Structure 1
Amino acid sequence: MIADIKAAPGGSFILLHGCAHNPTGIDPTPEQWGVIADVIQEKNHIPFFDIAYQGFASGSLDTDAASVRMFVARGMEVIAAQSYSKNLGLYAERIGAINVVCSSPEAAARVKSQLKRIARPMYSNPPVHGARIVANIVGDSALFKEWNAEMEMMAGRIKNVRHKLFDSLSSKDKSGKDWSFVLKQIGMFSFTGLNKAQCDNMTNKWHVYMTKDGRISLAGLSLAKCEYLADAIIDSYHNVS
């Protein structure tokens, strides 16, 4: 990743997932974010953050915003596309926001004029229903606190599922394979490392449905099904090439 960012022409836009990376579930550590920021600054790139799952990784809005805030604290110009579709359950509204941190008021005026030129022919005025729901929740301290607690509960449930799946894989698999990546990954998704043939076995034999690149959504997994999923993964991993 660092090599690719270095190889990109200076002044490129670099798309980054702020947290809960999709599809891998592998987020950079704070130290790694620092290295990424160093290279982007050196190359005069523009970081463009995709923030689709804020609150779903750690359960904390602040923790999940740390990567973006690090770049802003360095004085970098930053673009962040922020979605409320997932963390507020507003899938049908497709509500989000584009945030641009500029280096000066003059730069902000130029960016705003360009955003207006894009928005006007594309949709003119967006629907306001979803935006008003979000504004009502984030603008009310009691509702905001309740929302944060619900996200923490949701993220905690996924963490519990990860631990249960890891325990099941480790206890059932006698090959000595290291399954700790399940715990190291974060957010809704896990990149299992299964190839297409192994994924087909997961579906055709075990009726576990996943994308063919080996990604699986842990948000749809219950604690009661962890052992069954572990059996399916172990069978597919060891018995299908």
Structure 2
Amino acid sequence: MSFFDSVELGPPIEVFQLTKQYTEDDFPQKVNLGVGAYRTDDGKPWVLPVVRTAEKALANDDSLNKEYLPVLGLDLFSVLSTKMLLGSDSVPLAENRAFGVQVLSGTGALRVGAEFLAKRLGKTVFYFSKPTWENHRLVFLNAGFQEAREYRYWHEANRALDLEGFLEDLNNAPEGAVVILHACAHNPTGCDPTQEQWGQIAKVVKERKLFPFFDSAYQGFASGDLNKDAWAVRFFVNQGFEIFCAQSYAKNFGLYNERTGNLVVVSNNLANVAAVKSQITLIIRGNYSNPPSHGARIVAYVLSNKELNDQWGENIKTMSSRIIQMRKRLREELEALGTPGSWNHITDQIGMFSYTGLNEAQSLHMVQKHHIYMLKSGRISMCGITPNNVQYVAKSIHETLTSLPAKY
């Protein structure tokens, strides 16, 4: 007899299971297109040079210690992060109506923000894109939301944004519902709305009195341009919206395991800021108490130093340009082989991921026959494609679609 006898085995997390399978596979041409982490042309993890510089400087600073940070984190980190997102000319920043809170990467920002909305504002319904990052649903439900709803996003036949379905679903949302919006480099499709389409989305969000919760995991990483990748968030703020935004430094600083993130809050009433901060403080205190300092100090050190900030800008251009180049190469290889279907969506998409259009049967075939590890949804991480394996990946996709044409 055990207290735990009634516990059922939970389903595996697909992306981590894929990585385990990849690691244990001894096939010489195996390729990991599942994990969402940057890789060099050699397929290796990359610690950004500017991060190495910052770490060495911080290690040699004897004034630093290992004392607790405040519950809301390192203030300089949050101030600089919020400014990076909203822009130096942000009106809410100038009026002290916007602030940031250091949290445990983007996931922690989503969780803290969602818990505040559910437990302090009584929000029960949230919307996420179909498809979306698989953790959105779990995080919001665990934070206290009661109902998860999808809005249409990906048009399978056109391999593009389903704007009509997107707007129709938001139009049918109950007043006050929370809607999760990807700031840029939509995960998993890599398909973002145009600026004109963002305008139409904002119009419906305002009419239906929905609360926009942005997820910004790729600022700078997507296009290499920090301002371009923050356009949607700044547009909503300039339209007068109150928002939450989850910022992550996993991708654009390569601080995957340092769990470095920022929750940005924009209010239309300065008088509410102190109360909101106090309630977020209590949520964090009852969860993980206070955040780790290492990653936040790295980011703050770089963002507060013009020379290092410029170097970081070059680092993110290196990463984004390599991914863009691999998109181009993959499309060229597929088209040269005469692979069934059109492949312009590979280069139309942006950011770390691509929705290839392969269905579940085809994706499983890629794993089982070709040892190319990808999600069953057809999503691939473009970072896993290198000059050394792009031809093999293209030939494998070609063989798969030739072998399983009826399911294409």
**Shared fold (TM-score greater than 0.5)?**
yes
Residue number in structure 1 paired with 2:201: 36
- Please say which of residues 122-131 and 40-49 is displaced more in the overlay: 122-131
**Cα shift readout 1:127-154 (whole Å, capped 9, x = no counterpart):** 1121111100111111110001110111
Residue number in structure 1 paired with 2:365: 201
SS at match of 2:354: strand
1:13 aligns with 2:171: no
User: In the aligned structure 1, how far is the partner of 2:241 from the partner of 2:402?
Assistant: 47
1:155 aligns with 2:313: no
User: In the aligned structure 2, how far is the partner of 1:11 from the partner of 1:237?
Assistant: 44
User: In the aligned structure 1, how far is the partner of 2:339 from the partner of 2:168?
Assistant: 37
The correspondence of residues 43-58 of structure 1 with structure 2, limited to 5 A, is: 43-58=208-223
Greater RCO (Cα-Cα under 8 Å, separation 6 or more):
2
What is the letter of the counterpart of residue 223 of structure 1?
Answer: P
1:235 aligns with 2:399: yes
Computed over aligned residues only, the root mean square deviation of the Cα atoms, in angstroms, reads: 1.1
User: In the aligned structure 2, how far is the partner of 1:170 from the partner of 1:230?
Assistant: 9
User: In the aligned structure 2, how far is the partner of 1:92 from the partner of 1:138?
Assistant: 20
Q: Which runs of 5+ in 1 are unaligned?
A: none
1:112 aligns with 2:274: no
The correspondence of residues 81-92 of structure 1 with structure 2, limited to 5 A, is: 81-92=246-257
Residue 107 of structure 1, CA deviation: 2.4
The correspondence of residues 119-130 of structure 1 with structure 2, limited to 5 A, is: 119-130=284-295
Residue number in structure 2 paired with 1:213: 377
User: In the aligned structure 1, how far is the partner of 2:330 from the partner of 2:277?
Assistant: 47
User: In the aligned structure 1, how far is the partner of 2:197 from the partner of 2:285?
Assistant: 39
2:339–2:401: 8 Å Cα contact kept in structure 1?
Answer: no
Q: Residue 200 and residue 174 in structure 1: after superposition, are their counterparts in 2 closer, same or farther (change >3 A)?
A: closer
1:24 aligns with 2:219: no
2:331–2:343: 8 Å Cα contact kept in structure 1?
Answer: yes
Residue number in structure 1 paired with 2:228: 63
Q: TM-score, normalised by structure 2?
A: 0.58
User: In the aligned structure 1, how far is the partner of 2:344 from the partner of 2:367?
Assistant: 24
Residue number in structure 2 paired with 1:178: 342
User: In the aligned structure 2, how far is the partner of 1:197 from the partner of 1:218?
Assistant: 21
Residue 234 of structure 1, CA deviation: 1.5
SS at match of 2:213: strand
What is the letter of the counterpart of residue 37 of structure 1?
Answer: A
What is the letter of the counterpart of residue 94 of structure 1?
Answer: R
Residue 124 of structure 1, CA deviation: 1.6
SS at match of 2:299: helix
Residue number in structure 2 paired with 1:77: 242
Residue 224 of structure 1, CA deviation: 2.6
**Which residue, 331, 334, 337 being the options, matches 1:166?**
331
Residue 109 of structure 1, CA deviation: 2.5
What is the letter of the counterpart of residue 105 of structure 1?
Answer: L
SS at match of 2:180: strand
Residue 91 of structure 1, CA deviation: 1.2
User: In the aligned structure 2, how far is the partner of 1:126 from the partner of 1:83?
Assistant: 14
Residue number in structure 1 paired with 2:156: none
User: In the aligned structure 1, how far is the partner of 2:273 from the partner of 2:198?
Assistant: 25
User: In the aligned structure 1, how far is the partner of 2:366 from the partner of 2:178?
Assistant: 38
Residue number in structure 1 paired with 2:386: 222
- Equivalent pairs counted in the alignment come to 240
User: In the aligned structure 2, how far is the partner of 1:171 from the partner of 1:126?
Assistant: 50
Q: Residue 174 and residue 99 in structure 1: after superposition, are their counterparts in 2 closer, same or farther (change >3 A)?
A: closer
2:339–2:398: 8 Å Cα contact kept in structure 1?
Answer: no
Give the helix-richer structure, 1 or 2. Answer: 1
Residue number in structure 2 paired with 1:136: 301
Residue 174 of structure 1, CA deviation: 5.8
Residue 44 of structure 1, CA deviation: 1.1
